[in-house]
Amino acid sequence: MEFIVQARENSVSGPRGQNIGTFNRGDVLSINCSPEDSWNIASNQEPARCNALGLANFLLPIEGKAQTLNAGALVGSFDEGQTFFPIGMRLQMTIIEDNTTVKLYCWDINDEDNSGGISTQVSIQQGVIQTTKKKELQA
């Protein structure tokens, strides 16, 4: 499946992430982007054009988020943008909880001057990995 993540509409400072689906425990999720695909994160200025890895050597903390990542990096979230994980140009991960919704974002503090989008290729292998739920400790 292909999803376009928009630098403005899907910024972590903007209104919403790009929903790529809801997955279940044991599913293997793969996300791939081309290194040539890019977006702008500052009013079409050349130094602010980057691919899904973000701007090299420009770590950006975002107020209210206890994380610092490359400005303009492609990131994901399982919890409606409360916390994030880096994706960059390739990510493969196993989903560990049923009904996990994944959304993709552009890591930037000012969505107003962003433009463009990055195409992501998303694939899912359902139930490939057998996982077990943690057992509750009994007192």
Q: For 91-132, how does the pLDDT look when each residue is reduced to its tens digit (9 = 90+)?
A: 999 999 999 999 999 999 888 889 999 999 999 998 776 666
Q: Which amino acid is at 44?
A: N
In a domain, 132, yes or no: no
- Taking residue 50's Cβ as centre, other Cβ atoms within 10 Å add up to 24
Compute the residue count for the chain: 139
Res. 56 pLDDT band, cuts 50 70 90: confident
In a domain, 130, yes or no: no
Q: Which CATH number characterizes residue 10's domain? A: 2.60.120.430
In a domain, 36, yes or no: yes
In a domain, 12, yes or no: yes
Look up the domain containing 65 and give its range. 2-125
In a domain, 15, yes or no: yes
Per the CB < 8 A criterion, the answer to whether 100 and 36 are in contact is: no
Q: What's the pLDDT at 106? A: 96
Res. 139 pLDDT band, cuts 50 70 90: low
Q: What's the pLDDT at 131? A: 60
Mean pLDDT of the chain: 89
| Percent with pLDDT over 70 in the chain | 88
Three-state DSSP state, 111: helix
Task: Please give the tally of structural domains in the chain.
Answer: 1
Per the CB < 8 A criterion, the answer to whether 80 and 18 are in contact is: no
